[in-house]
Amino acid sequence: MKLSKRLTKIVEMTPSCDRIADIGTDHGYVPCALLRTGRIQGAVASDINRKPLEKAVRTASGYGLDAVIDFRLGSGLEVLTPGEVRGAVIAGMGGELTREILEANMEVVRDLEFILLQPAQNPEVVRRYLYAGNYEVIREDLVQEEDGRFYEYFLVRWQDEAPSIPLGPYDPMLSPRLIREKHPLLRAFLEAKIAEIETITHKLDPAFQSSRNKLSELDRQKKYYQEVRSWL
């Protein structure tokens, strides 16, 4: 099974255990890869849409793994009851949706030993939510896919008395942990962010007040990224 860099990192970061849930499983590649590498012994694979779940069933059947994967049609963590899995993977969704999935079933969240999150968009929403709440952030990571896109990862678990981590206005945009560790992809990530801001800036018409406000905010973000880049 050949996986993308994004999915390979998910498999790598998932702790070994007896059973996990893959929420929004799509083609079912993650649970199948985890089973084939021996990192887990069973899985729940769920999706809110029937067609992706049918694809996951076909993927698992092709590898002879359909007997050890429980396929469920449903939304988020609502397909689970506390205690039936040790951990969960929630990957490939927007930051807002990822947060909503966690908040929708806190009974399951509190019971899990780990949750691996990989938002496809707006990871800053997830970071702000995690850092402001009762989550222990065990690990963060960063991957650049073959098409140049970057993906951020959060391995977390709920703790009743985990302290909130204070964040400034721009801190959620970058991982303090990855900055501290000087992640090898962080410079390229910053360069991409700066280039993205410059592209947007060129398209805005300063004749409008709304554009001037946006330009001012983008300029502050760019200076923040440039400052962090100077530390690396």
| pLDDT reported for residue 213 | 93
| pLDDT reported for residue 73 | 97
Give the span between the Cα atoms of 127 and 105, in whole angstroms: 19
The predicted-structure confidence for 152-182, as pLDDT tens digits, reads as follows 999 999 998 877 677 777 788 999 999 999 9
Beta strand segments in 39-149, E: 42-47, 69-73, 87-91, 114-118, 135-144
Tokens of 14: 């998932």
Low-confidence ranges of the chain (pLDDT < 70): 164
| pLDDT reported for residue 169 | 77
Query: Strand pairing of 19-23 and 87-91?
Result: parallel
Tell which residue, 117, 25, 187, has the closest CA to residue 34. Answer: 25
| pLDDT reported for residue 170 | 76
Q: Cα angle at 10 between 183 and 119, to 5 degrees?
A: 80
When computed from its CA atoms, the radius of gyration of the chain, rounded to whole angstroms, is 19
pTM: 0.94
| pLDDT reported for residue 74 | 96
The dihedrals phi and psi of 210, each to the nearest 5 degrees, come to -60, -35
Q: Could you tell me if 23 and 76 are in contact, meaning their C-beta atoms sit under 8 angstroms apart?
A: yes
| pLDDT reported for residue 201 | 94
Q: Could you tell me if 109 and 134 are in contact, meaning their C-beta atoms sit under 8 angstroms apart?
A: no
